[in-house]
Amino acid sequence: MDRKNTNTICQEQALGHLKYSGLVDISPFFNGSICQLFLVKGRKSLIVKSLKPEYCNIPALKSRFISEVEILQSLQTSNTLALIKSRVDIKRPYFAYEYIKGTNLDKILKAGTVSLSQSVDIIRQLLTILSNLHDRDGRLIHSDISPDNIILSKQGQVYLIDFGCACIPQQYNDAAHTWIGKHAYLSPEQAQGLQWTQQSDLYQVGLLFYEMLTGMRRNNANTTRDMLPLAANPPALELRGIDCHYHEFINRILSVDINKRYQTAHQALLELNNI
């Protein structure tokens, strides 16, 4: 059965079943944000994401949520999680999509160091996903590549989720984008309030790779306030402890100077494959 048919069947079965009384709130297990996540009783393959009630009357947040839905709709044909159902024309918008049995990278990192080969495999898969996303019409930028937005399935497949900060450069809007994203994982250009590009996504991938290889977050400030200046002007890279074969790759993907950074996800992927 192909993916399109599977979606259609899921959609028919799910219609009418998405009542909040039939949902189990799983948000307390994750870092808090403006959204709430639910599992659907009796429907193990579904997850529902909705704006928290207290944010539904804030137009900027509601339109950001709706933009996440629109991006997911536009990604239906690519290799991303299938959107099963969405309703944005109501007081409390939500969407239902595939639930991945697995663990997010944040939990994996907190549980201990990831091995070198597993780290390289995760970065390869991420760069492949980005390469597809970046090549799409409109040249989508994810903008929020961070450990809790990456899920590793039990089979080791990497999924990039949470398109709540994603944007396409033509629709870039200063006011809407200066405050979003996690401070510890901002690229220098994002932290400096400059327009960011697809290379900003690459920088964020570099931050993840660094963290997996060293067991330490590159931006190690303790408070959000201290993270911003560190993200904007990162100290010199400390590569001690990292396998020397990957020094050049880390240096380039984490280059503050965007001209020295890899230009595309595809280029970074080729370099990584050559190591």
Ligand X SMILES: Nc1ncnc2c1ncn2[C@@H]1O[C@H](COP(=O)(O)OP(=O)(O)O)[C@@H](O)[C@H]1O
Q: Give the residue, chosen from 161, 228, 258, 269, that forms a contact with ligand X under the rule CB under 6 A.
A: 161
Binding segment toward ligand X, per CB under 6 A, in 28-36, 116-124, 218-226, 238-246:
28-36
Q: How far is the CB of 215 from ligand X (least distance, A)?
A: 20
Number of residues this chain uses to bind ligand X (CB under 6 A): 18
Binding segment toward ligand X, per CB under 6 A, in 33-41, 112-120, 225-233, 246-254:
33-41
Chain positions contacting Mg ion, by CB under 5 A: 149, 162
Q: Give the residue, chosen from 18, 38, 43, 49, that forms a contact with ligand X under the rule CB under 6 A.
A: 49
What string of H, E and C letters represents the secondary structure of the chain? CCHHHHHHHHHHHHCCCCCHHHEEECHHHCCCCCEEEEEECCEEEEEEEEECHHHCCCHHHHHHHHHHHHHHHHCCCCCCCCEEEEECCCCCCEEEEECCCEEEHHHHHHHCCCCHHHHHHHHHHHHHHHHHHHHCCCCCECCCCCHHHEEEECCCCEEECCCCCCECHHHCCHHHHCCCCCHHHCCHHHHCCCCCCHHHHHHHHHHHHHHHHHCCCCCCCCCHHHHHHHHHCCCCCCCCCCCHHHHHHHHHHCCCCCCCCCCCHHHHHHHHHCC
Under the criterion CB under 6 A, does residue 33 sit at the interface with ligand X? yes
Q: How far is the CB of 98 from ligand X (least distance, A)?
A: 6
Helix/strand/coil for 149:
helix
The interface partner of residue 100, options being Mg ion, ligand X, none and the CB cut-off 5 to 8 Å by kind, is: ligand X
The interface partner of residue 218, options being Mg ion, ligand X, none and the CB cut-off 5 to 8 Å by kind, is: none
Under the criterion CB under 6 A, does residue 93 sit at the interface with ligand X? no
Under the criterion CB under 6 A, does residue 37 sit at the interface with ligand X? yes
Structural contact between residues 109 and 247, judged by C-beta atoms closer than 8 angstroms? no
**How far, in Å, CA of 82 to CA of 246, rounded?**
34
Binding segment toward ligand X, per CB under 6 A, in 3-11, 160-168, 169-177, 227-235:
160-168
**How far, in Å, CA of 17 to CA of 4, rounded?**
21
104 or 255: CB nearest ligand X: 104
Q: How far is the CB of 195 from ligand X (least distance, A)?
A: 23
81 or 127: CB nearest ligand X: 81
Q: How far is the CB of 182 from Mg ion (least distance, A)?
A: 8
Residue nearest to Mg ion (CB): 162
Q: What residues line the site for ligand X (CB under 6 A)?
A: 30, 33, 35, 37, 47, 49, 81, 97-100, 104, 148-149, 151, 161-162, 164
